[in-house]
A = this chain, B = another copy of it.
């Protein structure tokens, strides 16, 4: 079959895409999907993304780890937020994490409602994700979580990295995939420096999470692809 790649630059545009037969890759590089990949790679049994901070509380006292981030910070009273350093083997192996984040979980829920399959992408699992996408007989939509429905650079760069790797195996590309790939090619020698231009980067700098940003921009640290099964993200096998 002829296959296409499209890039949805923010969740606010998702309604424009027919994804019923597509694989949707959810992308929230700083930091939700990077941490999801790292957590599942480190043996977390599952991650349950929920929409509201209050939804996390329903899982309280039942053996779950509760993670809640809003506007870049851990919500008071929660085990942790979305820093990847909270998703190490020691902390998450064998555990199920209930997580809510500003942008990433919203994008996940929108995708889940319609897509054929939903997986999680980040620079940490770029290679294994692309190898798997090439082997499927499906169209691919790369869904950037953005920042409060606005375009952001880091998610777009990752979408561009995927387009760059998949290009030879696909037939059709929309304008946003062309733009995303060209921005990635421009940025790839030094992603950190390029992302320093972004508004989100300024926001994150103010939160002292420079180490998180560096961590999330590492290539191919992980072999895991988290996939949505029902309402749980689990290891794709």
Residues of A in contact with B (beta carbons under 8 Å apart): 9-10, 12-13, 16, 147-153, 156, 173-176, 178-179, 182-183, 186, 197-200
Contact = CB atoms under 8 A, between A and B. Distances in A.
Contacts of A10: 13
A62 to B, nearest CB: 37
A99 B173 CA distance: 31
A146 to B, nearest CB: 9
B149 A178 contact: no
A152 B179 CA distance: 9
B186 A182 contact: yes
B200 A150 contact: no
B175 A199 contact: yes
Contacts of A156: 175, 179
22 contacts: A9-B9, A9-B151, A10-B13, A13-B150, A16-B148, A16-B150, A147-B175, A150-B175, A151-B174, A151-B175, A151-B176, A152-B175, A153-B175, A173-B199, A174-B199, A175-B199, A175-B200, A179-B179, A182-B183, A182-B186, A183-B183, A186-B186
A149 B16 contact: yes
A175 B178 CA distance: 17
Contacts of A183: 179, 182-183
